[in-house]
């Protein structure tokens, strides 16, 4: 593993035993052995090229769809979202965006350029990188419906150009070349579709009125089962407001679990599993996680 004292303005910031509660929207989670925030793509490539091949790597965006267990993450967490913030219109109906660009910002730029359908990106709470990694979607649109190409970086620091055909994409799932992480996506839009400010504003207002924004959460915890909604199943199972420790099923949107009172990751995961069990018992439906759960259980 690389020595943690390598820490310069040109290279980036490397910390030992960094609490992941500082880097997740749930505000919970144990420490990462190492936490690296590169200063540039070049320093990221250098870091990866020099990293011990045996060291595990976890790629971190903004932590909006992530639960890190209280035992933390072994190896190194790489947080490169702050350097991958480029966004440009490269063709009349084509936009290139770095993985660190918030999806709401992508939606607003497309609105300004008058290209669509793009408003659905405003309903995705994370970044372009996270949306690419899980085929995030909202309001009937999905990320990979718009992808024309991606750029990735591998664990040796080499950058690759990839086509959509190199990935298997499903509902909230993407599988592709191993040990590579998205650093940029190129998105194509339709010549005969104009982005609508009214639609975008309506989507943002809907989020505001139906979701517990401003409270620590990860967005939707479970995928919607085919032909139904996870929130409906959870609500009709009588779980709104149910608490374990400091974690609570939101009274505003049943598919949200909020950190109501200094919840631990253990509290949150226990509540997730309780909800899954109750919905299975009540409705005979097995809910699948949309949130990513990683790390080790605290000993």
Per residue of the chain (299 residues), give pLDDT as tens: 444 445 566 889 999 999 999 999 999 999 999 999 999 999 999 999 999 999 999 999 888 889 999 999 999 999 998 899 999 999 999 999 999 999 999 999 999 999 989 989 988 888 999 999 999 988 889 999 999 999 999 999 999 999 999 999 998 899 999 999 999 999 999 998 877 788 777 777 777 777 787 889 998 999 999 999 999 999 999 999 999 999 999 999 999 999 999 999 999 999 999 999 999 999 999 999 999 999 999 87
Domain boundary among 79, 98, 126: 79
For residue 197, is it within any domain?
no
Based on the fold, state whether residues 92 and 57 are members of the same structural domain: no
**E strand intervals along 85-140:** 87-91, 94-98, 137-138
Domain limits for position 273: 212-294
Based on the fold, state whether residues 264 and 218 are members of the same structural domain: yes
For residue 7, is it within any domain?
no
Based on the fold, state whether residues 152 and 171 are members of the same structural domain: yes
CATH code at 25?
Answer: 3.30.43.10
Q: Which residues are catalytic?
A: 172, 220, 290
Residue 29 CA to residue 294 CA, distance in Å, equals 10
For residue 51, is it within any domain?
yes
Residue 274 CA to residue 243 CA, distance in Å, equals 10
Read off the pTM: 0.87
How many folded domains does the chain comprise?
3
CATH code at 252?
Answer: 3.90.78.10
Based on the fold, state whether residues 67 and 91 are members of the same structural domain: no
């Amino acid at each position: 593993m690389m020595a943690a004292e390598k820490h310069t303005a040109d290279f980036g910031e490397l910390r030992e035993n960094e609490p992941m509660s500082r880097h997740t929207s749930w505000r919970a989670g144990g420490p990462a052995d190492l936490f690296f925030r590169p200063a540039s793509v070049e320093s990221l490539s250098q870091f990866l090229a020099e990293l011990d091949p045996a060291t595990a790597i976890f790629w971190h965006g903004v932590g909006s769809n992530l639960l890190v267990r209280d035992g933390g993450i072994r190896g190194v967490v790489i947080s490169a979202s702050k350097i991958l913030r480029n966004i440009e219109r490269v063709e009349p109906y084509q936009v290139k965006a770095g993985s660190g660009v918030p999806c709401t910002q992508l939606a607003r730029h497309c609105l300004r350029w008058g290209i669509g359908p793009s408003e659905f990106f405003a309903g995705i709470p994370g970044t372009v990188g996270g949306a690419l990694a899980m085929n995030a979607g909202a309001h009937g649109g999905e990320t990979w419906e718009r992808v024309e190409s991606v750029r990735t970086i591998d664990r040796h620091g080499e950058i690759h150009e990839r086509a959509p055909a190199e990935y298997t994409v499903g509902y909230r799932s993407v599988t592709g070349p191993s040990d590579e992480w998205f650093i940029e996506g190129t998105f194509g839009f339709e010549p005969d579709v104009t982005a609508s400010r009214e639609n975008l504003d309506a989507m943002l207002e809907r989020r505001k009125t139906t979701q517990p924004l401003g409270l620590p959460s990860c967005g939707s915890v479970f995928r919607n089962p085919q032909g139904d909604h996870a929130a409906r199943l959870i609500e009709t199972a009588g779980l709104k407001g149910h608490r374990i420790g400091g974690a609570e099923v939101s009274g505003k949107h049943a598919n949200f679990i909020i950190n109501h009172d200094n919840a631990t990751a253990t509290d949150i995961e226990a509540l997730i599993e309780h909800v899954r069990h109750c919905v299975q018992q009540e409705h005979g439906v097995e809910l699948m996680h949309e949130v990513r759960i990683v790390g080790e259980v605290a000993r």
